[in-house]
Amino acid sequence: MEIGLCLSFCNKRWKNPQALADFVDSLGIRLVQFSWDLVNPWWEEEIRDELAKEYAKAFRHRQIEITVSFSGMAAYAYSSLLSGDERVRKMGMNYLKRAVDMTAAMGIPALGTPTGCMESLEGTQEIRCEFPNAGRGKVMQRLADELIFLSRYASEKGLKQLYLEPTPVQTEIPCTALEAKTLMERLSGKTQIPVGLVLDWGHVLCPSLNGEPADMNYWLSVCKGYVGACHIQQCDGKMDRHWGFVHQGIVTPEMIRSVLENPDAPGIIHYLEYCPAFETPGDEVINVIRDSVKYLQSI
């Protein structure tokens, strides 16, 4: 099992690139996902890129590869590509373009994000069928057009891949395995660089919105060929908890092994994505990450 680390745990904690890289290095982790919580794409470009490059330099100095820059906690909904308001979608696209610029400045080859959310329940109904209804289908097609444009911009800046993260939220697209597959098929062959999926264990194991199995192997089978990585953490199958593996939950070693043996997903990297409460003491966060990495390495 190849394990990476999503830097989602850094929010409101680590702001020193060298110290953060040293900590990750001490875990024996060689692959990380950078988080926009550390450097905000909205910041003044010159200062933003200077700060971002300091993180890139610190990690590369320790032979740790930053495989993708990801939206993180603070920026979770900022993409706004599903908004019904054209002005909001425009600002959301501008935000993602700035994130592409920052990612390129850091020399990171890929960018990942959820797609935002709709402001109301309009266009969110009838997602139980394989093909979305007229309202939701219209939003999905508009999203596909936005992603085709973003892929062109990202390609011009030197990026090689875009990733989308499905969520278990009815006002977001995609929120089911079949919807994720449908969106990927609409984008296939139309984007300048590939667009893939990052599947999150906590999202997949939440109660289904359309009667699908809440099962990672099911998602990997339906979305075969489109999954580039997974976020892994402990959860209870009720809400998207993002617990560490010191917490009791439903993600068992047997469940993880079954996914690792899945022929539809050979060699997928699993990034530990632990998102502690802001009030959690720093020492506790460090211990949870250390113990969770050891737990995953033992499987």
3-state secondary structure of 41: coil
CA atoms within 13 A on the CB side of 139: 29
pLDDT at res. 134: 54
pLDDT top residue among 132 and 79: 79
- Name the pTM for this structure: 0.94
Task: Indicate if the pLDDT at residue 36 is higher than 50.
Answer: yes
pLDDT top residue among 79 and 157: 157
Cα Dmax for the chain: 51
pLDDT at res. 11: 82
Task: Indicate if the pLDDT at residue 38 is higher than 60.
Answer: yes
pLDDT, mean over the chain: 92
**Contact indicator for 74, 40 with CB cutoff of 8 Å:** yes
pLDDT at res. 266: 82
pLDDT 10s digits, 85-135: 899 999 999 999 999 999 999 999 999 999 988 866 555 555 544 444 557
Rounded Cα distance, 9 and 285, in Å: 8
What six digits make up the tokens of 163?
A: 């990733």
Q: For 172-201, what is the mean pLDDT?
A: 97
All structural domains of the chain, each given as residue ranges with its CATH number in brackets, are: 3-117+126-297 (3.20.20.150)
Residue 253 has a CB neighbour count (10 Å cut-off) of 12
What six digits make up the tokens of 184?
A: 């990927």
